[in-house]
Amino acid sequence: MDDLPASVIFGEGDGLVRRFASLLRRLPVLPLARANARLAPTWVGDVAEAIARCVRDDHPARLRSFELYGPEVLTLGEIVHAIRAAAGLRTPIIPLPDGLGRVQAQLAGLLPGTPFSLDNFRSLRTDSVGKVDGYAALGIVPQPFTPWLPTLLHGPVRQRRLDGARKLQR
C-alpha cells in the first residue's frame, strides 16, 4: 500500500490556524516555506463523524481505510493569506525559495514550541490532497476550510457576545 500524505485537520484551538494567526500578529513579515504546497484541510468534526461511522459494529466500512480530506484544495500560501484576511491583519507574507525554507525549518526547530521543523518542511514536499473521496463513501459532506476561519479566529458569535458582556461588567 502506498503511503498517503496526512491531511491537515482544522478545528477550534487547532495548531494550523492558531499558529499562523499568532505569527502574523507578532512578526513584521512572515517568511513562508513551501508556500505552493497543496493541502485539502479537513474539519475535525468530519473526521470524528467518519471514525464514528466506521467503528459501528454493523457498518460495512469498519475494516476499510478511507482518504479523508476537505473539499477545498488550497496552497499553504492561500491558507495563510486567508487566515491573515480573516484576522484583519496586513502582515506581508514572503514565499521562500526551498534553500531558505530549509534553513528556516532548521532554525525554527530549535525554538521553544517548535513552530516549524524539518519534518514539517519535508512533509510539504508531497501535496496533502486525496485521490479517493472517503467522505463520499461514508455519506458525509465535508465542511470547507475558509468559512470556518472567523469562528476559529474569534470564536462563535454567541461566545464573543458573552465575552464582551463579561468585559463590560468588570
**Main-chain phi, psi angles of 70, to 5 degrees:** -75, 170
Give yes or no for residue 2 having a pLDDT over 50. Answer: no
How would DSSP label each residue in 22-78?
Answer: HHHHH-SSEEETTTT-EE--EEHHHHHHHHHHHHSTT-TTTTS------S--EEHHH
Write down the pLDDT at residue 1: 37
Give yes or no for residue 62 having a pLDDT over 80. Answer: no
Write down the pLDDT at residue 59: 65
Q: Distance from CA of residue 49 to its chain's centroid?
A: 18
Task: Give the three-state DSSP class for 156.
Answer: coil
Q: Could you report the per-residue pLDDT of 115-154, keeping only the tens digit for each? A: 889 999 999 999 999 999 999 999 999 999 999 999 999 8
Write down the pLDDT at residue 13: 87
CA–CA distance, 44 with 42 (Å, rounded to integer):
6
CA–CA distance, 107 with 109 (Å, rounded to integer):
5
User: Of residues 99 and 53, which shows the higher confidence score?
Assistant: 99
Give yes or no for residue 54 having a pLDDT over 90. Answer: no
The length of the chain, given as a count of residues? 170
User: Of residues 29 and 165, which shows the higher confidence score?
Assistant: 29
In the chain, what are the helix, strand and coil shares in percent, each to the nearest 5? 45, 10, 45
Rounded to an integer, the average pLDDT of 37-65 is 86
